[in-house]
Each structure stands twice: as C-alpha cells, then as structure tokens.
Amino acid sequence: MVQLDVREVPFYQFSVVYQSVIKNLSMPTGESFVEAWKKCSLEVLDDMPHRFRMILQAMLSKNKLPLKRGGMKNGLKPKDFDYWLEQTLMGHNLPLAHLKQILKAREVEGYREQPLTARGNAPYVQMVQSLGKLLNAMGYKGLVLFFDEAESIAQGRLSARIKSYEILSQFFEHGGFVYPVFAFTEAFFDKVRCEEYGGEAPQFPQNYAEIWKNLQIIRLQDSPLTRWEALQDRLINLYAEAYQIDIAAKLPEIKQQMRDLLEKLKMQETRFKLKALINQLDIICTRTAS
C-alpha cells in the first residue's frame, strides 16, 4: 500500500513513491524482499535499469578484492557493504564513487558498461515494472499495488501534473505483472476533464480525458452492500492469485470475516473501508500462505 501525498509522497517525484513501494513490499512467506529475491535466476534482471541490476548482482556476491582492514579512504567499511547496497536498492542515495568501489570490490561484471546514475522518473517506474516480473519469476502472480489518496495526482502545479499524468498513463497502459489499484475521488476526474488539451501549444502531450474515458472504474461512494461484496470477491480472487494460494476451503469463512468488517465500518468513509479490506486480506493471505 502506498499513501500518496502531494507534499510528502508526490506521484510526480516517483523516486519517493518507489521508496515507499520497496519499504512496504511484503512477502507471503514473511521474508523480506531483499532476502526472498536471491532465490531467483539472474536472467530475470535483464529488464531492470542498469543501476539496480548491478546492485542486486552485488548483493549476491561477496567481497573478493583484498581490502584494507580499517576500511577505505572514504570511510566505507567492507562489513557495511550489504547494508549500503540494501539502502541503495531501496532508493536512498549513496555517492556514486562509493557505489563503484563496492561493485569493484565484489567484481560485479559489466558495471562500467552503462551509467550507474538514476535520473528522473523513468528508472524508478521501470524498476517497479521489473519488480512485478521478478516476483512472477519467483512463483507469484506479480505485484499488487494499492495507491491511496490518488486524487493528489491531479493537485499541485501544472508542471507536476504533466509529469504525474504521464507516469499514471504508463501504469494504465502497461500489461506486465504489476496490478495497480488507485483510490480516486471524483475531484481527480473533474480536474482531468477540465485540463487544457487543445490550442497551438498544448500543455499536455496527450488528451488524458479522452484516452482514460474507458478506464475500469468502480464507484464506491454511497454504494450498497452488494457492490462492496462484489468488490470484495474480486479482491479475494486477486489476492489468491498474487499469493499463489488455494483459499477455496476457507472461502466462506473469509467472506464472512469481510462482511463482518464492512458491517463494523458502515459509517466510515469509503477510503477507510477500502484500506481496511486490503489490510484484512493481507493478514488472511499471509497466514494462509505460511
């Protein structure tokens, strides 16, 4: 689950969103993603941005070149390499010279072939898509992402909205193994429809109001219980596929738990109900898979 916020987790600054995705990425087995992915073949890393692919390969390796006992001139200590690689994988900054020294010490092949920098949004969007492919190769259906308060995507300055819409369009168009769920309010769609798309110098590269008009939208505000139960059934099926578990035997029990939860939350706002369903399914599927 990613809690979007126009100030703290802005969609147009996708490196921050990526950090939140990695931080909240949980495996059904209880393992951290960093530990679990190591069981996968390196071949599935080919589509990843060069920087992240080299980091993951380094995490599989051990220090091979002879290193000074007290560490390097820049203060890096060999015993801390794993920590710094994990932090860099999670999107935190590590000086490029430090990263190169670690890759050199672990004799990672090919790290000099392309730049190790990650500028702009594209590498982080590509990395999230690659995570879906990696999880699929590990035996899961893919990566389910729930973006809450997604109406913040249409907030902020024009330059921020241009970047945000472009990223959002990539998620809508990309097939792959990433399954995004966005929780919008009607304010988002109103803003998209009111944007200026025409003229001699259009502000946006595409008319998003037009290309998004056929999106699959489930409106839950003031919805009857039957519509919530229909959504609940779809979420259960999605989670069962994503976690690769057989829940047929427990399906009546799970549905009853979800109905009881919805009954308790019937006076709550729509977003709180949806978040509660997601959290409850996370708990149920994790227990079932373990």
Token couple for 2? 């990613």
Q: So what's the pLDDT on residue 187?
A: 92
Ordered by start, the domain boundaries in the chain are 2-25+122-211, 50-105, 225-289
Q: So what's the pLDDT on residue 173?
A: 87
Mean per-residue pLDDT over the chain, rounded: 85
Q: Quick check: 221 pLDDT over 80?
A: no
Q: So what's the pLDDT on residue 37?
A: 73
Q: Quick check: 256 pLDDT over 80?
A: yes
Q: So what's the pLDDT on residue 289?
A: 63
Q: What is the pLDDT of residues 142-191, one digit of tens each?
A: 888 889 889 999 998 999 999 999 999 999 988 788 988 888 889 999 99
Q: So what's the pLDDT on residue 229?
A: 82
**What is the mean pLDDT of the segment spanning 186-211?**
91
**What is the mean pLDDT of the segment spanning 228-232?**
83
Alpha-carbon gap, residue 264 to 31, rounded angstroms: 32
Share of the chain above pLDDT 90, in %: 38
Beta bridge partners of 2: 147
Phi and psi of 6, rounded to 5°? -65, -20
Alpha-carbon gap, residue 242 to 255, rounded angstroms: 18
Among 35, 115, 53, smallest CA distance to 89 is for 53
Q: So what's the pLDDT on residue 199?
A: 79
Among 120, 101, 134, smallest CA distance to 170 is for 120
Please report which confidence band the pLDDT of residue 224 belongs to, taking 50, 70 and 90 as the band edges: confident
Highest mean pLDDT among 27-41, 43-57, 184-198: 184-198
Between 130 and 226, name the one with better pLDDT: 130
Q: So what's the pLDDT on residue 278?
A: 81
CA angle 195, 202, 198 (to 5 degrees): 65
Q: Quick check: 290 pLDDT over 70?
A: no
Between 270 and 112, name the one with better pLDDT: 112
Residue partners of 288: CB distance under 8 A and separation at least 6: 243, 245, 247, 250
Q: So what's the pLDDT on residue 67?
A: 58
